[in-house]
Structure 1
Amino acid sequence: MGILLVDSYDSFTFSLENLLETATGIKVFTIRNDSFSLPKDKKLLDDILDSVQAVVIGPGPGSPQNPDDVGIIPYIFEKKDLPILGICLGFQCLSLKYGCTMKYLNDPVHGQVHAIHLCTPIDALFESIPDDFKSVRYHSIYIDGAFDTDVVPLAFSSDCDSAKKPILMAAKHKKFPHYGVQYHPESICSEYGDQLIKNFWKIAQTVRPEASSDHNSIPRAISYQPLIPRVDNINNRFLYQYKKLNVSLDTITICDNLSPDFLLLNSAANPGNWSIIGIPIKEMSDVLTHSTENPSILRTSTWGNKDFEETCLTHNESIWTYLSSYMAERFFKPCIDDSSLRKCPFVGGLVGFLSYEEGKYVNINRLKKITESDIPDTKMCFIERFIAIERETQHCYVVSIRPDDRKWIEATSHVLESVTSTLIQPKMIEKIRIELPIKQTYFRKFAACQKYLRSGDSYELCLTTTTKVHIARKDLSYWKLYKNMILKNASPYSVFMDFGDAQVLSTSPERFIYWDHKRCQMRPIKGTVKKTEKTGYASACQELLIPKEMGENLMIVDLIRHDLYTLLKDVKVSKLMGVEEYQTVYQLVSVIEGDLESSPYRGIDLLHLALPPGSMTGAPKKRSVELLQEIEDDNRRGIYSGVVGYWSVNDTADWSVIIRTLYSYKDDLEDTKDTKCMRCGAGGAITVLSTAEGEWKEMNIKMDSTLQVFD
């Protein structure tokens, strides 16, 4: 027994897989629609279809009339006695197979909750479901002409097409056990999705009570081996030592009184609580560098050392396997007797960033160069010494995991206990030239996004732009610039990192992923309102809790649920579209959590699988990343849209999305003898409800929250 799920590279597939298994209790086998080449693999595919009791054909981007978008799906409908449920693209394929026609909606519907009305008499597919219920729609194409074909209408939406007819939402074949729904039962906001699946499974068992159950030849859509086994090899190379300072100091004061060599993760606002100041040891702390421009090479060096060694990665290795092996040798669980410090999630480990291009689906070979040498896409430093500051209490701890490091702890504590708090004074940077995005160019790219949204190739595209800030070298101090940034825009995931060949100055409000041994958490942000004297929390809620903004957020929530369900069984949305207040803006935030305790996978597997962040791509992710690369003219996003944070030796990690950020590279092609180029990315989710003027305004609000440092 089993159910075959056919995936068309959608970003909701594994949420659907989970729904199928949860509702039926039956094992689901997921394959891609291009897993077989017909007619060459016809017998193998036939054997697989004979081995399962039912097939579910899932959603996907593109058109049911495009062979490249649908693959083997039309052939599956040749199996007249096989129970089939088509969803969205699968429903459209079913309808075209049996004589219907397809048309494009004048107003496509992506990520919107709509009422679904059942036809009478109610079909067995909708048993125990009310005549009217709500579900989420993602489609640009609709099906017409069902009344004059072998297709029996089962449900409609009250929305009308250009001919003023309701839109077909569900149907079945007159004789064959082939069913379909246009809406998405797996969405977080869809009602009665589990009941629909239970009803279909009941129908399938009646039609095909037995199957051969030989599933060994089914090519799985995802066959993912954990990067690190769940069994920890805890080493004894480290010794956790600390001293609690007798004074309360703010993070900036501490940094002002340290050497310039530090890496700062600064939780300057809720919901962050712990700030970490990593202290690299000159010519001792490991630094790992990787570039997608030379992906088979990893460079290892020590902090402040210009010399490096190159490690050649084999065809079975990647930056991800290297980082995982590196950390697996260093896992450490300290015993901490201070009840407050015990809550600090970081106990030493890797600190740094991963660029957008280290994620999936980017065509690296087409990207334009922006640096003279290979661009640093991954920079990590292994931190053994750090200072931890609890924001609520301002308790400060000097910590080391290096054995016999008491001398450093005492010396550092003595320095810090003798200083007074620093009052941040804004420092104007006078000689700058800012290259802002060109409105006409942005509008051209916006129109390209709309074309792909209306064709059904994407539901949401996160279009981004880059502003270049040319600063006179004699006026440039990265640290002073960062202090100005947090003075004007304190944030929960603020970062200052100067690796020498790359600098990151961030005031990001968005957590990408947090994990520990028990759980992971992702906090996507979609929806932004600028704070003004006239814009309070109540008015911000009115502006954000509208179909456009909620649709943007909902699509990313559904995408992230899919990403987590790819590896995890237990995923929950603990906050859906809540309005949160930050220093310069209000944001629409959701929180999605997954259970790692009962999983063979670790957080690093999820980071690898889910990068680049869905809130910076749109959905479906694969097609959207490919389209955005084309629309953005093959320009690198680089550090912007990547992630920055830490991976601690206790296998706890926290990574934020790199937005609201200034960043630079040592040998940027835009540098001159007298000026340094810093870059600032900004963007927003384009949906069919977006307007060019509205998105241009929102993009500038986000950009201004960073560029105001130069006012």
Structure 2
Amino acid sequence: MARRILLVDAYDSFSNNLAALIRQTTNAEVHTIKIDDYTLSKFRGFLKSFDAIVIGPGPGTPTNDEDVGIIPHIYGLPEEEVVPVFGVCLGFQSLCLAFGAGIGRLKVVKHGQSSVITHHRGDIFEGCGVVDAIRYHSLRAEMNEGALGELEVLAVTDDGEGENGEVVMAVKHRRLPFWGVQYHPESCCTNLDGARVVENWWRLATGWLDGKGRVSEALPAGWGVPPERRNLLGVPRKEGGRGLCWQMFHAPCLDIVELCELLEVKRAEKFAMLDSSAKHTGRYTILGVFMPGVTETFTWRVGDEKVSVQTFGKSGRDEVGGNTSFGVWSELAVKMAGFGATGGDGESPFWGGFMGYINYEAGVTGLDVPLASPRGDEKAGRTRIPDLNVTFFHRSIVVDNISGKVWVQSLEVDDEEWVTGMAEKVKLLAAMSITPTTTPPNEVVGGSGVTLPRSTMRTTTTVKEPLFPPSAVEITQPGKEKYMRNVLACQKELAKGESYELCLTAQTTVDLTLPLQEEEDTAWKIYKHLRKRNPAPFAGLYKASGTTLISSSPERFLSWDRDGNFQLRPIKGTVRKSKPDGSIVSRSEAEEILNTPKERAENLMIVDLIRHDLHGVLSGQSDEDGGVKVSKLMGIEEYETVFQLVSVIEGRMGETMRGEGFTGMDVLHRSLPPGSMTGAPKKRSVEILQDIEGTADEGDNCGERAVYSGVFGYWSVCGAGDWSVVIRSMYRFDDEFGSQHQDGSGEGVRKERWRIGAGGAVTALSDAEGEWEEMLTKLNSTLAVFQ
């Protein structure tokens, strides 16, 4: 019978990485509980079912009861109930504290930084060579005579007299089967010798168990299924599905802007496009086509029991749900399960399905972090803004911007007339780009009698500067002094051990005062301009349910293909390409700036956090899962206006899990909000940032991040999905000012307010002035369209 290990999680964002390392090195079953899931009596009741305990890292301090919960009681169990224990970071500090050591602060915090660990190759370091390990701690164990009578120091590191001097890195109890390490063996940048301590601990632990003749009991009745083994759908996957009506053709000269205008984007109240417009990293443009009486938009507000559904072309709304275990997420899964499709072209990434956004606050509540009440838009008396806003498309157009292939598709099998007619229009549009025409001035006639308005023909246009008259634009940016004070406030929390990294943000508002009637929607005018100035791999325009989002994001959050392969691409580390003197930063200069301890620590902490999120669903599969791996660590990528430090994390969902009904949405909803926008540990970092970033009373975007810091993308009926982080983007609430106002002369005008968020990761190595400059660099990549 397999041994069982109990992992006690202190609400950390690296615990799933530790669980995966334990499974890999011990072949034991790993069960996870939180530090406050059980009272001591209940904990002691089921402890006989486990062979050992691992106490993981976490925020806070071991001297605070709320930060450690059950942990001190584990070290204080009667000897007849003792099992082997391995403590990591907070677990290590708690071990030292329990047996007489003091807990003090490091002079220089070590978050995401590597150190060489000095050891004597014995005990848990047996067979280990040079240990190069990653540290995430601001506290230290201070050994005294009493503690040294109970604990033996196994390893140290020397930070130098100018920093922290010698710091204890590993101990063991002299009599009881307790071991602990201060560093993180599960980090992707801790070397193999540093991770081998877990294997050695298990060898020593099982030897102790055998010597005692201890055999664990069966798990108690009612022991719950771990959350990662429950899927949103709740039932096995159904094979097959409805057929797809589609055509594929080549149109290498097709212009995406003209294609959108063919679909009447200039005046459309609803529109959906995902547009990979970057030269080197972009590929597909995906358009959802609204179908009267069929296309449904799903919206949900945190706290609502049901999901609101509005059908395009119909008045009123319906409500669904209220009876599913995962709420809105299950409702989306149920909708998708009813539209399993077959027969589409395997090269097309999207056959139909959901497109839209999930905002930051929707992810926050998934961490059991309450939102401030009342929320900002409730205070202002405006229409409530949805936290989830996605549209399910039956009709779609996909363009491969590299190969020139175009797919016109419909989930309605009897929709051949629309597919054929739209395909002819798109072919003709592409042909007009390269073929002169002598047709009458008001229309162009294509094959099968298709008629296009003359306005869709290619015309030579020049983007004028500025896009809007300066008198029509009012920009309100964050205050420099306040932002820098917030950076220092973040660093105080880091020094206390509350977080390893905090992704501080602030919002800018742009108020436009415009003529009442214009030829095209402001959003489309801005998008075209932004697409030229700052082409991005995850650009797009989405208009539905009273919110308009314009994206020029460079960052993929999470993608998955129909075979269960997952990828995340966190970005941390940014260098502006233009210098103050007008010269351009070279790639070698960018590499020198980005390959510093500060920038690499920022990126590494998010990489380890994202590995944790992915492990949380994909680890422990019954069939081969392909593992969770870092396929690219801190590579430098070039974009139109910046260089970025980018990592790539990949994983695989095996066929058994997919057969059980798991999908990419199971991974997505458990990974929100994006770790690159929170910091680590995620839950504690979110709580801290809510306090530091301010409330509605201070005037910043109703006190919420809203659409900014959320995700934007698609989930296709073919099984694939791709979601970006909403950064380098802007959004508006369409009815914020109503439809008409008076200017100074009494003439009718309309007002719009666009919101743009920007920020950066604050670490112990951050400089407040430098963080302000980085925030401005990111802000100006989008704000420049108004200047």
TM-score, normalised relative to structure 1: 0.94
CA drift of 1:123 comes to: 2.8
| Structure 1 residue identity aligned to 2:386 | P
SS of residue in 2 equivalent to 1:473: strand
Out of 387, 410, 414, the position equivalent to 1:404 is 414
Letter in 1 for 2:693: E
More off after superposition, 377-386 vs 584-593: 377-386
Q: What residue is the counterpart of 2:353 in the other structure?
A: 349
661-670 vs 568-577, which deviates more? Answer: 661-670
CA distance in 1, matches of 2:460, 2:182: 59
CA displacement, residues 389-415 of structure 1 (integer Å, 9 cap, x when unaligned): 111133333332322323223332333
Give the whole-Å Cα distance in 2 for the aligned partners of 1:466 and 1:6. 38
Asked whether the 8 Å contact 2:242–2:340 carries over to 1, the reply is no
- SS for the counterpart of 2:342 is coil
Amino acid at match of 1:173: H
1:291 equivalent to 2:301? Answer: yes
Q: CA deviation at 1:221?
A: 6.6
TM-score by length of 2: 0.85
Instruction: Check conservation: 2:299, 2:386, Cα contact below 8 A.
Output: yes
Counterpart of 1:429 in structure 2 is: 468
Residues of 2 paired with 1:164 and 1:248: CA distance?
62
User: CA–CA distance in 2 between the matches of 1:244 and 1:115?
Assistant: 58
Q: Name the CA distance, whole Å, in 1 between partners of 2:534 and 2:287.
A: 19
Mapped partners of 1:379, 1:163: distance in 2: 49
Task: Give the match for residue 32 of structure 1.
Answer: 34
1:111 maps onto 2:168 in alignment: no
How much does 1:358 deviate?
Answer: 1.1
Cα distance change on mapping 1:657 and 1:617 into 2, 3 Å: same
RMSD: 2.1
CA 1:597–1:307 in 2, change beyond 3 Å: closer, same or farther? same
- Could you say which residue in structure 2 is the equivalent of 1:339? none
Counting matched residue pairs gives 698
Match of 1:623 in 2: 684
Aligned pairs for 1:101-500 within 5 A? 101-118=102-119, 120=120, 122-130=121-129, 132-146=130-144, 148-149=146-147, 150-160=150-160, 165-191=165-191, 192-209=193-210, 210-216=214-220, 222=227, 224-228=229-233, 231-234=236-239, 236-244=241-249, 248-260=253-265, 261=268, 262-269=271-278, 270-292=280-302, 294-311=303-320, 313-314=322-323, 316=325, 318-336=327-345, 342-359=346-363, 360-361=366-367, 362-366=369-373, 368-370=375-377, 372-416=382-426, 417-418=428-429, 419-420=432-433, 421=458, 423=460, 425-427=462-464, 428-430=467-469, 431-474=472-515, 477-499=522-544
2:612 alignment partner, one of 562, 586, 605: 562
The residue identity in structure 2 corresponding to 1:59 is P
Among residues 566, 582, 586, which one is paired with 1:520 in the alignment? Answer: 566
Distance 1:407 1:245 in 2: 20
CA contact (8 A) 1:443 1:692 kept: yes
Give % identity: 39
User: 1:638 maps to which residue?
Assistant: 706
Q: 1:219 to 1:181 in 2, by over 3 A?
A: farther
Larger displacement relative to structure 2 (357-366 or 653-662): 357-366
Equivalent position SS for 2:550:
strand
Is 1:603 the counterpart of 2:664 in the alignment? yes
Conserved? CA contact 1:248–1:396, under 8 Å: no
1:15 maps to 17
Displacement after TM superposition at 1:598 (Å): 3.9
Change in 2 beyond 3 A, CA 1:194/1:156: closer
Q: What CA deviation, in whole Å up to 9, does each residue of 1:358-392 have, x standing for no partner?
A: 11234135363236121121111121222211111
1:698 aligns with 2:755: no
- CA distance in 1 between counterparts of 2:315 and 2:546 reads 10
1:593 & 1:230 partners in 2: Cα distance? 26
Supply the distance in 1 between the matched residues of 2:337 and 2:693 (Cα, whole angstroms). 38
Distance (Å, rounded) in 2 between the aligned partners of 1:148 and 1:500: 65
- The alpha carbon displacement at 1:304 in A equals 4.7
SS in structure 2 at match of 1:227:
coil
2: CA distance between counterparts of 1:157 and 1:424? 64
| Partners of 1:164 and 1:398 in 2: CA distance | 63
**Does 1:668 find its partner at 2:736?**
yes
Q: For residue 581 of structure 1, what is the aligned residue in structure 2?
A: 638
The match for 1:66 is: 64
CA drift at 1:291: 1.6
Q: What CA deviation, in whole Å up to 9, does each residue of 1:654-708 have, x standing for no partner?
A: 1111111110112337998332111001111111111110111000100000001
Change (3 A) 1:18 1:670: farther
Distance 2:392 2:704 in 1: 27
CA distance in 2, matches of 1:62, 1:3: 24
| Rounded Cα–Cα distance in structure 2 between residues aligned with 1:94 and 1:220 | 29
Equivalent residue for 2:597?
A: 547
Contact 1:228 1:324 in 2 (8 A): yes
SS of the residue aligned with 1:379? strand
Match of 1:529 in 2: 575
Q: Assess, with a 3 A threshold, how the Cα gap between structure 1 residues 552 and 670 changes in structure 2: closer, same or farther.
A: farther
User: How far does residue 161 in structure 1 lie from its aligned partner after superposition?
Assistant: 6.6
Assess if the C-alpha contact under 8 Å between 2:132 and 2:194 holds in 1. Answer: no
CA distance in structure 1 between the partners assigned to 2:201 and 2:326 by the alignment: 43
Look up the SS of the partner of 2:341 in the other structure: coil
Please say if residues 564 and 571 of structure 1, whose CA atoms lie closer than 8 Å, have aligned partners that are also in contact.
Answer: yes
**Separation (CA, whole Å) in 2 of partners of 1:623 and 1:410:** 54
Q: Unmatched 5+ residue regions in structure 1?
A: 337-341
Do the aligned residues in 1 keep the contact of 2:138 with 2:496 (CA within 8 Å)? yes
| 181-190 or 401-410, larger mean C-alpha shift | 401-410
1:229 Cα deviation after fit: 5.7
1:36 CA drift (Å): 1.7
Q: CA deviation at 1:473?
A: 3.5
The residue type equivalent to 1:707 in the other structure is L
Contact 1:23 1:194 in 2 (8 A): no
Distance in 1, Cα, partners of 2:70 & 2:389: 42
When Rg is computed on C-alpha atoms for both structures, the one with the higher figure is 2
Distance in 2 separating the partners of 1:198 and 1:48: 25
Of residues 715, 726, 734 in structure 2, which corresponds to 1:647?
715
Residues 102, 49 of structure 1: CA spacing in aligned structure 2 closer, same or farther, 3 A cutoff? Answer: same
Residue 220 of structure 1: CA displacement? Answer: 6.9
Unaligned runs of 5+ in 2: 434-457, 620-626, 696-702, 742-749
Distance across 1 between alignment mates of 2:217 and 2:406:
61
Shift in Å, 1:556: 0.7
Write the distance in 2 (CA, Å) between the matches of 1:27 and 1:164.
38
Residue type of the partner of 2:726? I
Tell me the distance in 1 between the aligned counterparts of 2:498 and 2:604. Answer: 18
| TM-aligned CA deviation for residue 357 of structure 1 | 1.0
Alpha-carbon shift at residue 180 of structure 1 (Å): 0.9
Q: Measure the CA separation in 1 of the matches of 2:134 and 2:651.
A: 23
Q: Distance in 2 between matches of 1:135 and 1:529?
A: 28
Q: Quick check: 2:250–2:404 contact (8 Å CA) kept in 1?
A: no
Residues 264-273 or 459-468, more deviating:
264-273
Q: Cα deviation per residue 1:46-79 (whole Å; 9 max; x = unaligned)?
A: 2333332221111000000000000111111123
